[in-house]
Amino acid sequence: MMGPQAPERPKPLAPPTALLDVPTVKWVFVFLFLASAVYVHLRGKVRHRLGRQLLDHSTFMAPINVLMYACSRVPTSPFIEPDRHFPELEPLRARWREIREEALHLRELQHIKAADGYNDVGFNSFFRRGWKRFYLKWYDEAHPSAAELCPRTTELLRQIPAVKAAMFAELPPGGELRPHRDPFAGSLRLHLGLDTPNDDACFIDVDGQRYSWRDGEWTMFDETYIHWAQNGSQANRIILFCDIERPMRFAWARGINRFVAKNFIAAGASPNMEGDKTGGINRLFKYFYALRLKAKGLRERNKTLYYALKYALVLAAIGFVIWL
């Protein structure tokens, strides 16, 4: 005869971390990445072709950019009213004639120009179509050349912490910028007309909405919408071009924004002349550009092979991430 059996001990509860095993976490991240990429592609009225969107930098930046949109304290529409949302920027518009004077002096000296070498990854493709620039600051203090040649403008910018980057940007008659998105949604783009054609034939198009520059007038837009520009007039166009920090609703989101700007976007600093800082990304860019030239050569010789290799590499990278 068997005696009474001892009651089974209850099994200890699994720690909370055990409930989410590695495969589950991995697939959650894959889903969030894909959902963010789809949202970025469908955002706005104007979209890239699917083939281009798959390899566009906005796809890979989608998760952090969707976070910026979700936590933004200002509207996420293509155009934003600077007068209403950024009153601290008013000194720029109030003193636009002083700023223009320094910009025109730079143009006379031929310092508003394309990069001297492959050291401006952010705007390298623009130079082929006539666009030129002179950096005033780039997510840091003013370039030494800017402080020397544009003392009033750089001092004015220094007094407005929201301005993270600034430059004089020139677009000559016949110049254009092809449709593109900028990579990071942590800032908004301000354009202040300085020496413009004052002509509707000289314009920027943001998500299908056009704005024509006028002297002393400004506009602000979200540069992660698809935008392009054209100067179809017979006159030159010079503007003050600024990146303004996107205001965030939460302190932790503001911290993420500033971390990305300080550690990644700032690495895109490009010099005006010798003695100015060149960021780490631009120091490496010339090597990546050499590889790009070889890839372009392959595309000219055999487009089928070029695109087959291109998409094979993308699929291999996606497969590797999923496999991890």
Tokens of 99: 């700023």
Q: What is the per-residue DSSP string for 134-202? A: EEEEESSSBPHHHHHH-HHHHHHHHT-TTEEEEEEEEE-TT-EEEEE--S-TTEEEEEEEEE---STTE
Domain ranges of the chain: 79-278
Tokens 């990069």 correspond to 115
Per-residue pLDDT of 253-283, as tens digits, reads 999 999 999 999 999 999 999 999 989 988 8
Question: What pLDDT does 322 receive?
Answer: 63
What is the architecture, at CATH level 2, of domain 79-278?
Sandwich (2.60)
Q: Is the pLDDT of residue 208 over 60?
A: yes
Is residue 309 classed exposed, middle or buried when 0-12, 13-18 and 19+ CB atoms within 10 A define those classes?
middle
Confidence of residue 5 (pLDDT cuts 50, 70, 90): low
What mean pLDDT comes out for the span 277-295? 81
Rg, the chain, Cα only: 24
Q: Is the pLDDT of residue 216 over 90?
A: yes
Of 19-33, 122-136, 169-183, 232-246, the poorest mean pLDDT is in 19-33
Instruction: Give the contacts of 153 (CB within 8 A, at least 6 positions apart).
Output: 98, 99, 102, 103, 136, 146, 166, 240
Distance CA 67, CA 267 (A): 22
Question: What pLDDT does 25 receive?
Answer: 78
Question: What pLDDT does 2 receive?
Answer: 55
- For CA atoms 114, 140, 94, 153, the dihedral sign is negative
Nearest to 92 by CA among 142, 145, 160: 160
Q: Is the pLDDT of residue 62 over 60?
A: yes
In angstroms, the first-to-last Cα distance of the chain is 56
Of 27-36, 132-141, 292-301, the poorest mean pLDDT is in 292-301
Beta bridge partners of 211: 204
Distances (CA, A) of 246 to 114, 153, 255: 28, 22, 12
Nearest to 98 by CA among 155, 141, 140: 155
What mean pLDDT comes out for the span 80-102? 98
Confidence of residue 155 (pLDDT cuts 50, 70, 90): very high
Distances (CA, A) of 210 to 78, 213, 218, 298: 11, 10, 13, 37
pTM, 2 dp: 0.87
Distance CA 222, CA 227 (A): 9
Question: What pLDDT does 140 receive?
Answer: 79
